[in-house]
Amino acid sequence: MSEGRIQKALSGFYYVDTGTEILTCRARGKFRKEGISPLVGDRVEVRELGGGEGFVEAILPRKNAFARPAVANIDQLVVIASGAIPKTDPFLIDRVVAIAALKGCDVIILLNKCDLNSADDLYEIYRAAGFQTLRVSAQTGEGLDELVPLIRGKLSAFTGNSGVGKSSILNALDPEFHLQVGEVSDALGRGRHTTRHVELYHLACGAEVVDSPGFSSFETEELNLELKHQLPETFREFRPYLNDCRFVGCSHTKEKGCAVLEAVRRGGIQKSRHASYLRLYEELKPLKDWQETKK
């Protein structure tokens, strides 16, 4: 038995980096029965079969795990967005960010394509909410020197809607990289889902980054009861106000004397962030405490 880390997941195969070689592995059937899937970033025990092949026998305890993107043990999530072609809906960002907060995972907001559009609205929203927010361009290389120190020595996962330039940023960060990038050409500026699998890359600058397929629609799988119960806390800038509402159990949606709503009125909380909170609140409402949620 040897130990390694899953570097890539593709078509039912897991490519496990043992430090000396990459083994092409299948996962034991027991994982499927238990409803667990090995993830890129997982530390695993593998049984070698010879010829560079093996079986994933066990998954070692995880620091964290995400369904979207499908990764484990990351140090931070880099949420990539764009002010144009495609213009990212802040709700997409807020949703991912809430899930990351629930899992205690750090987030960086990276606004790409600043050569096309400086994304001032998004920049203001996330900077004001207290996120590390950077503007970059994969096209011109602008801002990338600020990004490098934030990802060096860490395992980051890039996520964001299709076409925002996740793969392009990796190509721009490392001249050795030639990842496939897609066109964003239809009228709605939708990406084409160019990246089709999840893979961990080692960059020359000393960063490890997982690239993954972008999302186009809202995934519901991660909306669970835990998020329902902790939703206000997952909005980091709400936290200073949460004990100041007039009513215990305030939902921060419409109550009189709600300190969160007051902060929104006074500009201490961005309207767009509270709008996302309301949308998530409504989406989570139907989840009942007795409902089993998927892991």
Q: Give the Cα separation of 95 and 280 in Å (integer).
A: 8
Among 88, 156, 159, 195, binds Mg ion (CB under 5 A): 195
166 binds Zn ion (CB under 5 A): no
Of 113 and 273, CB closest to Zn ion = 273
Half-sphere exposure of 147 (CA within 13 A, CB side): 33
Cα distances (angstroms) measured from residue 44 to each of 27, 62, 232, 289: 10, 10, 35, 33
CB of 228 to Mg ion, least distance (A): 32
Q: Give the Cα separation of 288 and 291 in Å (integer).
A: 5
At 149, give phi and psi (nearest 5°).
Answer: -65, -20
168 binds Mg ion (CB under 5 A): no
214 binds ligand GTP (CB under 6 A): yes
Of 108 and 138, CB closest to ligand GTP = 138
Burial class (CB within 10 angstroms; exposed 0-12, middle 13-18, buried 19+) of 285: exposed
Question: What is the DSSP secondary structure assignment for residue 36, as one 8-state letter?
Answer: -
Q: x/- string (CB under 6 A) for ligand GTP, residues 150-189?
A: ----------x-xxxxxxx------------xxxx-----
82 binds Mg ion (CB under 5 A): no
Among 92, 109, 198, 260, binds Zn ion (CB under 5 A): 260
Q: Give the Cα separation of 111 and 122 in Å (integer).
A: 8
Residues that bind Zn ion (CB under 5 A): 245, 250, 252, 258, 260
- Contact residues toward Mg ion (CB under 5 A) are 166-167, 194-195
Can you give the binding site for ligand GTP, defined by CB under 6 A? 112-113, 115-116, 137-139, 160, 162-168, 181-184, 191-195, 213-214
